[in-house]
Chain A
Amino acid sequence: MRSLRTATPTLLSLAAAFAFGIVLLLLAGAPPFEALWLLVEGSFGSASKISATLLAWSPLLLASAGLVITFAAGLWNIGVEGQIIVGAIAATWVARSLPGPLWVILPATIVAGAIGGLLWALIVGVLKTYGGVHEIFGGLGLDFVAAGLAVYLVLGPWQRTGVASTSGTDIFREEAWMPELEALGTGWPVVPVVLGLASVFIVWLLLRGTRFGLRLKAVGRNPQSSFLLGIPTNSYMLGAFAIGGALAGIAGTVQATGFHHKLVPAVSGGYGFLGILVVLLASFSAAWIAPIALFFVAISVGSTQLDLRLGLDSAFGGVLQGVIVLFVMIGGAWSARRVSASPTAAGEP
């Protein structure tokens, strides 16, 4: 009964969000139900499409998992985009310079991505804890710097053979590609999916089952009480940035070595900010990250079909995602307010 009551506002909000999407499609002169079907078809319609969806799911899982950790510590890690980019840059550096077979390069690129993202996130953390710069602006600034760095590398030191182009660096040699499993006539992104799901599982376990996770949650919810309980609050915030950054950095590795097979300026794919939406919709809990991220990434991947088939801009996917999160947040707060305004709830003196 209780779960039904709490689920109702969410379901109503979802319905309202889709209704909004349908109205929008009508406005754009598109057949709404065909368009919505294309979202499904475009993301799950064939083995190769499912494979593409899973490949996009992985970095979103990694970024979202990292964001669950930083949100748990009460931090707005807007710098996640930059952390993905720096992770991708670090992985690219390894992929370009480290000789050797796949089993050497694969772990090396993953570790490099993690370290890159971790260090980039720690800058934000240090600016926040010791410099008094709010993490939103420290993070944004470092997002800009990371994006600039990627452009500079792609056009400068790592430019494509021949003429420099914003289309990216040279393709990595194949030993540096994340291996795929051939089945059903297409390649399957096993390594990225395992990394993504493992990160969600680890974060879930950290927050649910460990002393570290519990302390982190305490710091995020009430730094004052936590300090009095003897928890070193600054160290825990920095720890949250480190973990969140490392996971975002691995997402960067996946983007560089698993998807593009090169470094491109927009290597983050926007999965950092999309991850923030996923975590907001999941109410900051790791348990719901995987299905919500799959839902969102299906919308993103499927919406590219709108462009190809109906000539609509693929940003429709982003609109739908944003409206869903906004409506669910409002619906949740609305029903919470009605509960607290009901006469059975006791007031506070």
Chain B
Amino acid sequence: MALEIRDIHKHFGPVRANDGVTFVVAEGSLHGILGENGAGKSTLMKVLSGFYEADSGAVVLDGESLDLRSPADAVAAGIGMLHQDPLVFLPFTVLDNFVLGSPGPDRLDRSSARADLERVSGELGFSFDPGRLVRDLTVGERQQLEITRLMWLGARVLIFDEPTTGISATQRAQLFSTLRSLAEDGLIVLFVSHKLEEVEELCDSVTVIREGRLVFEASMPVSPDVLVEEMFGKVFAEENREPVPLGAPVLQLSDVTVEEGTTRIENLDLSCAAGEVVGLAGLEGSGQRTLLRACAGLLSPDSGTLSVDGRNLSKASYRDHLSVGVHYLPAGRLEEGLVEGISIAEHLVLTSDDTSFFIDRDAADEAAEGEIEDYSIKGRPSSPAEALSGGNQQRLLLAMIPDDVRLLLLEHPTRGLDVGSAAYVWQRLLDRRVSGTAIVFASADLDELLRYSDRVVVFFAGEVFAVRSASETDGEELGYLIGGKERE
């Protein structure tokens, strides 16, 4: 038995998410699929699991070409997928989650389903209380439930999309041993990740995807240096930054513990001085966003102190943070930054200092023209936010940052921007250092982290894994650290 993926193409408008991906996975393999965020791994897995129909190409299992038009087709063919956020039904019981969608007679025979659940979960080494609500299970237990269900339905290929996000170390160890025994039983396990350490620990073979194409495949072990380079491409850090003398600390965190959903940061100490740029590196969901949101006043620390310019803001509201000059720019541009149906000029009015009751439209348009030129936004003052491309939305958000900001908190500030405008945007951000603004930003782009930070703080599983001075590290080392490993 083998799974063959032949020349899969999948486009979304002009974006080529998969651009001719071909590879073969043998029976009993634990196969890692590596790639950075947006490389096209998820699209490929959604094609395999029937969520997307490929534009062209074929999926062949056991020599038989599969017609995958829906997830039901994939499940029937024996391909099951475990989504990063398991697609379970929180208010339902474990048993109901187990049987929902399964074939069978109209009348639900819960006692036989319960017996099946106990049998299959027992074989896998899991144990569930069938009457418990899934809401009360941990993410790890929800995954175990999904594995049990897919095995019960006869899965021969199991796809795991970033399965270790949000689960504890013990659960991770248990998950890995489950995956190994599944592979020993002859299943094909596809393990999608961007965590080097896990792929190294777990997989027999690996495929690296970058920009929608397969760029590398090999049997393990492979030197992590090679994997890092294949995943991120060559990273060249340039020193093109005027050093600015650092001032007094602006942001100070001491012994802060804060929790958001499944991410928990414990006992964090961190500071950022006036004129300093701190880059936050790490996989998505490792704690960077939680930290930024806590600094912005959107999350209240459970313990510890958070202060800005010496003012204790541990219990202060978001609006209090705004009023002392903290500005947060989240990653979801149209979700938590801009407002659909509101124009560029109106966005700038919303954030301007002017408090007059009436809006001077001409002046607003003129000001907007200025910002549009300044930030080379492709749009007119009357263009609504949703009509702008992602890059132009980001430029507008940058244009909306007030002048007298003390602390700038940015999430993926240049995602989706071309090289030239990313450099320009950073020039504008760096200019703010002169007036003593402290900048903390999270990014998945190693190049950006190295080029613009003074210090890089690497998060791994909710902890600060390492802190490096940007001038004393390089892309290779960051790649290791992000994957939770020290360079040997």
Contacts and interface: CB of A to CB of B under 8 A. Distances in A.
Q: A and B: direct contact (Cβ < 8 Å)?
A: yes
B337 A228 contact: yes
Interface string A190-222: 000000000000000000011110110110011
B14 interface: yes
A225 interface: yes
Interface of A: 209-212, 214-215, 217-218, 221-222, 224-232, 346-349
Interface stretch (B104-112, B172-180, B281-289, B355-363): B355-363
A344 B15 CA distance: 14
A230 B322 contact: yes
Interface of B: 12-15, 17, 318-319, 322, 328, 330, 334-342, 346, 349-351, 354-359, 361, 400
Contact of A209 (B334, B338, B361): B361
A212 B400 CA distance: 18
Contact of A217 (B334, B338, B342): B342
B349 A211 contact: yes
Contact of B359 (A211, A222, A349): A211
With a 10 A CB-CB cut-off, give which of B334, B339, B356, B400 has the most chain A CB atoms. Answer: B339
A222 B339 contact: yes
A224 B342 CA distance: 14
Given A215-B350, A218-B350, A349 B341 contact: no
Contacts, number: 67
25 contacts: A209-B361, A211-B356, A214-B342, A214-B349, A214-B359, A218-B339, A218-B350, A221-B339, A221-B340, A221-B341, A221-B342, A222-B339, A224-B335, A225-B334, A225-B339, A226-B339, A227-B318, A228-B330, A228-B337, A229-B350, A231-B350, A346-B13, A348-B12, A349-B13, A349-B15
B359 A209 contact: yes
Contacts of B361: 209
Nearest to A227: B318
A140 B341 CA distance: 30
A339 to B, nearest CB: 14
Contact of A228 (B15, B328, B359): B328
Contacts of A217: 339, 341-342
A227 B334 CA distance: 13
A284 to B, nearest CB: 10
Contact of B13 (A209, A210, A224, A347): A347
Contacts of B318: 227-228
B356 A225 contact: no
With a 10 A CB-CB cut-off, give which of A218, A225, A229, A348 has the most chain B CB atoms. Answer: A225
Nearest to A214: B346
B342 A346 contact: no
Nearest to A228: B336
A261 B193 CA distance: 75
B28 to A, nearest CB: 34
B12 A349 contact: yes
Nearest to B12: A349
Contacts of B15: 349
A347 to B, nearest CB: 4
Q: Which 5 A-B pairs have the closest CB atoms?
A: A346-B13, A349-B12, A347-B13, A222-B339, A349-B15
A232 B320 CA distance: 12
A231 to B, nearest CB: 8
Given A211-B355, A211-B359, A212-B357, A224 B350 contact: no
Contacts of A349: 12-13, 15, 17
Given A347-B12, A349-B13, A211 B357 contact: yes
Contacts of A232: 319
B171 to A, nearest CB: 31
A210 B338 CA distance: 19
A158 B44 CA distance: 74
Given A346-B14, A347-B13, A225 B335 contact: yes
Nearest to B322: A230
A349 B349 CA distance: 31
Nearest to A205: B358
B331 to A, nearest CB: 12
A231 B357 CA distance: 15
A348 B335 CA distance: 15
A226 B335 CA distance: 10
B357 A214 contact: no
A210 B358 contact: yes
Given A227-B318, A232-B319, 18 more contacts: A209-B358, A212-B357, A214-B349, A218-B339, A221-B341, A222-B339, A225-B335, A225-B336, A225-B337, A228-B328, A228-B336, A229-B400, A230-B322, A231-B350, A347-B13, A348-B13, A349-B15, A349-B17
Nearest to A218: B339
Nearest to A349: B12
Contacts of B334: 225
B350 A214 contact: yes
B139 to A, nearest CB: 24
Contacts of A228: 318, 328, 330, 336-337
Contacts of B339: 217-218, 221-222, 225-226
